Amino acid sequence: QKEVEQNSGPLSVPEGAIASLNCTYSDRGSQSFFWYRQYSGKSPELIMSIYSNGDKEDGRFTAQLNKASQYVSLLIRDSQPSDSATYLCAPTGGGNKLTFGTGTQLKVEL
């Protein structure tokens, strides 16, 4: 079992729709969870952090965490073509090290 699992996609959504990205993790000791966005050829950019169970909203982004189910998700409302990128889920493990999933490629179509 992989430590962090994400559907590699591509996930295609029309412009203006809601994109839903999912992630499961295996380390029950993980306390903090991060979503990074990575454009092709660029480095990752932090877009959301979540620590507690439930939802956390920031602009068009909502992160959802369920530690009992070892599940974290990211919703992007009103998706724009500029949101087209790979989204990386990263729980924090020992030593504050991040464990990255392979990422989900999102394509927002006009």
Residues that bind another protein in the complex, under the rule CB under 8 A: 32, 34, 36, 42-46, 49, 51, 88, 92, 95-98, 100-103
Residue (32 or 70) nearer to another protein, CB: 32
Residue 74 in 3-state DSSP? Answer: strand
User: At its nearest, how many Å lie between another protein and the CB of residue 110?
Assistant: 25
User: At its nearest, how many Å lie between another protein and the CB of residue 16?
Assistant: 27
Residue (43 or 69) nearer to another protein, CB: 43
Is 3 in contact with 97 (CB distance < 8 Å)?
no
Alpha carbon distance 76, 46 (integer Å): 14
CB atoms within 10 A of CB 79: 21
